[in-house]
Amino acid sequence: MTAEDSAWVAVRSVDDFAALRTGRPDSPCRWWPEIGPTVNADSFSFTHRARRLGPITVLDIDFHDDVWVNGGDIRPHYHVTVPIARSSAVGAGRRSIVSKPGSVGVYRPEGRAGICRYTGRMLAVMIDRQAVEDALAGALGRCVSSQIDCQPVMVTRHQAVRSWITMVSLFAEQLFEPGSPLQQPAVGLPFAESLVHGLLLATDHSYRAALEAKAAEPEPLAVRAAIDVIEAEADQPLTVSVLAERSYVSVRTLQQAFSDHLGVTPMAYLREVRLSRAHQMLLESDPGALPWPRSPTAGGSRTSEGSRPRTALVTASLPRKRCAAAHKGIAQARPSAQPYCLSLGARNPVRRRVTEGASP
């Protein structure tokens, strides 16, 4: 990494920001939300720097004026915003990264996202959706067929949250440090992977208890054999009888083994695999060229997330390899009324609201 890579870039107007969003496809920060002044267009400026390592993009941004942020409805990542305090121990031209106490926002890939008002410095940690859901599937040993239902706020009084923020702060500091060993793949990529797994243990979601539970014993050979058949022939008209026959056990034995080790039936597992591949096919192809009707009422009512099938298929991102993790073993709380942080610098304290799923 060169000194230029870690340099701060100034944005001095709304027009500057519009050019930044549309004119730098090679920028480390490949995704930008809409950002605008809360007062008038003449009061809009910020500085920023961005770096990417593995599946993680870190955006270090310092808003000089009050801004609003609109992250839209769909994003390609899970997003955590960490308010940054100004440090008195700042060296020549350098700004250290010290998080502020309180709470940080956690934003899922799907769902409306925005911040009504914010001033000051913020660290935006964006982790590719596929990387997060692959990590969860690998840890659980089974498919993850929809976005993770992360709660919108992580409170820093919890030790797991504080530890993860400490890891992120160190990661960001070294990411922007020229000549840091973190730039070497042998050092940086394992660190990035640790951040992904750490986020799954720091934020609240419905899989948290399973992640913290004792690892289950490996599934019996019959389950593995059936999974092999499902993974290889998901497009074939498989039945539970066929799966049992090819696994060399009875139907009842196979059903009981799936229930004991996976918590689902063989056919339910098959449906999950087919759904995940349909998701990926839709993402990789022209939706207008699909070979089946896309009526929102066709083929079933609603998905497990409450979305109609068409919506769920278009917006989900679940690559096929997530289900392969099964070979190794197989509510959302309301945020506080006004989750906020104090504005930075010499300005008066400013509360900023965080709506569910927001993202700068």
Instruction: Point out the least confidently predicted range of 63-77, 89-103, 150-164, 191-205.
Output: 89-103
Closest CA to 127 of 151, 145, 109, 110: 109
- Could you count the other beta carbons within 10 Å of the beta carbon of residue 48? 19
Q: Do 60 and 135 fall into the same domain? A: yes
Burial letters for 3-19: b for 16+ Cβ neighbours within 10 Å, e otherwise?
eeebeeeebeebeebee
- Whether 170 is in a domain gets the answer yes
Quick one: average pLDDT of 133-143? 86
Please say if the pLDDT value at position 321 is more than 80: no
Alpha-carbon span 360 to 358, nearest angstrom: 7
Asked whether residue 99 is domain-assigned, the answer is: yes
What whole-number distance in Å separates Cα of residue 68 and Cα of residue 228?
A: 50
What are the φ and ψ backbone dihedral angles of 41, each rounded to 5 degrees?
Answer: -65, -20
Q: Please determine, for residue 190, whether its predicted confidence score (pLDDT) is greater than 70.
A: yes
- pLDDT higher at 39 or 153: 153
356 located within any domain: no
Fill in the amino acid letter for 282.
L
pLDDT at 218 (0 to 100): 61
Phi, psi of 280 (to 5 degrees): -65, -40
Q: Are residues 163 and 273 in the same domain?
A: no
Kindly state whether residues 243 and 115 are assigned to the same domain: no
Structure tokens at 129: 């959706």
Residue 251: inside a domain: yes
Lowest mean pLDDT among 25-34, 41-50, 58-67, 133-142: 25-34
The answer to whether residue 58 is domain-embedded is: yes
Q: For residue 238, is pLDDT > 70? A: yes
Q: What is the pLDDT of residues 161-171, one digit of tens each?
A: 999 999 999 99
**Whether residue 202 sits in one domain with residue 247:** no
Q: Is residue 205 part of a domain?
A: yes
Domain that holds residue 113: 9-212
Domain tally, the chain: 2
Q: What is the CATH number of the domain that holds 245?
A: 1.10.10.60
Query: Rounded to an integer, what distance in angstroms lies between the CA atom of residue 237 and that of residue 357?
Result: 39
Whether the model clears a pTM of 0.75, i.e. scores above it, the answer is no
Q: Which CATH number fits the domain that encloses residue 130?
A: 2.60.120.10
Ranges 103-107, 317-321, 336-340: which has the least confidence: 336-340
